[in-house]
Amino acid sequence: MRDHLDPSISEALRLALSALRKEILDFEFRYPLDVDLEAGPLESLHYYLYSEKLSWSVMVSDSSGVPRVRHRLYGEAYAPGYIAWWGLVHLGHFLRHGDEGSRETFLRQVDWLEKSATVRPDGAVVWSNPFHLVEGATLLCAPWLSAETQGWVISALVRAHRLTKRSALLELLGGSSRIFELTLKEGGVRIPLTRGALYTEKPGTPVPVILDGFQTALLGLYDLGMETKDPRVEELFREGIDGLKLMLPQWNYRGKWSWYGARAYLCPPAYHKLNCLQMMTLARLSLDETLAHYAQRWRMERLSWADRAEIYIAFLLTKNSHRIKHRTWRQNRRMVQEMISQVLREKSENGQRGNAA
């Protein structure tokens, strides 16, 4: 009989309890994020959302000033989407305060993104996530694509091109929409629907996809369409808007709040605020009344005290039900590595059977 818990299991339990405590005690119906109405027009450097007070506790900068994301399942890693978002926030600081250091921080992230781009044989330009991740029952094996990551990077590079006029950035942007045309089996992020399409943040997770990641991708496509005037990019944006409208009832909780992913659990306030402000922005850009209607109904300021109590209790119940279903407290780096090894073994065995046949 073992006298002590495995250190990795002990650490996972500690983090799980910390997250539970934070969710119970720090749940607030507010989040420091605002819409920037100056974003959208051609030549604008502003991004659609801005905050002076976001927490970046999950990041640690390397010696060159590029952040690495910390996660209990993969340690520290460069995440292109976070790097682009970090850059856009600093661009916002520069535009508001004239802080030259913030401008340099933005351009430093853009340099990293430019060097880290992969140009595929099919012409697609992608920024892959170089780490393994478990999302619910889905294992994402590195390197994996994400519509959200692609959206953040596109929005950052569009603004960098407007700022610097560097043709190399425009060349990269020219292939950045390709993965939105391709299905998951074809090496893309597209999920076709009866009307329109979804673009998935985490390929393989159930439909409907994670809403904020999908909407981030749509904002990136809008930026790209404005910058390049490419009719196909504009069509991809419209198809995404149609898919968003078609699936909206699946994300809607009683006309008050939003679900995370395929109704895995109610969104925590930060995610819900992001969902609401992104939808408000997409409604403005697309002149769509349906999106405007949902965005208005989801505003936190409209909630009564009874609504707030209902959402708080429903969030705790659904979130912890999700944890129990997927036993997330047992997840650790060793478990992920074992899952990856199993996948690789199965691929190898299937390949050998195919060769024998």
Q: What is the pLDDT of residues 249-291, one digit of tens each?
A: 999 999 999 999 999 999 999 999 999 999 999 999 999 999 9
| Residue 1, domain member (yes or no) | no
Q: pLDDT value at position 357?
A: 59
| Residue 2, domain member (yes or no) | no
Other CB atoms closer than 10 Å to residue 310's CB: what's the count? Answer: 17
Other CB atoms closer than 10 Å to residue 17's CB: what's the count? Answer: 11
For position 285, which CATH number holds?
1.50.10
Q: pLDDT value at position 320?
A: 94
Cis-peptide into 143, omega within 30 deg: yes
Other CB atoms closer than 10 Å to residue 23's CB: what's the count? Answer: 15
Other CB atoms closer than 10 Å to residue 115's CB: what's the count? Answer: 7
Q: pLDDT value at position 24?
A: 78
Mean pLDDT computed over every residue of the chain: 92
* Nearest CA among 305, 247, 304, 255 for reference residue 276: 255
| Residue 320, domain member (yes or no) | yes
Percent of the chain with pLDDT strictly greater than 70: 93
Q: pLDDT value at position 345?
A: 82
pTM of the model: 0.92
pLDDT in tens, 187-244: 999 999 999 999 999 999 999 999 999 999 999 999 999 999 999 999 999 999 999 9
Classify burial at 234, counting beta carbons within 10 Å of its beta carbon; exposed 0-12, middle 13-18, buried 19 or more: middle
Domain count, the chain: 1
Instruction: Report how far apart the first and last C-alpha atoms of the chain are (Å, whole number).
Output: 48
Residue 5's pLDDT band (cuts 50, 70, 90): very low
| Residue 112, domain member (yes or no) | yes
CA distance 44 to 16: 42
Q: pLDDT value at position 1?
A: 41
| Residue 3, domain member (yes or no) | no
| Residue 195, domain member (yes or no) | yes
Classify burial at 313, counting beta carbons within 10 Å of its beta carbon; exposed 0-12, middle 13-18, buried 19 or more: exposed
Q: Which domain holds residue 290?
A: 8-356
pLDDT in tens, 10-55: 655 666 666 767 787 889 999 999 999 999 999 999 999 999 988 7
| Residue 158, domain member (yes or no) | yes
Q: In this model, does residue 350 exceed pLDDT 80? A: no
Q: pLDDT value at position 2?
A: 44
| Residue 335, domain member (yes or no) | yes
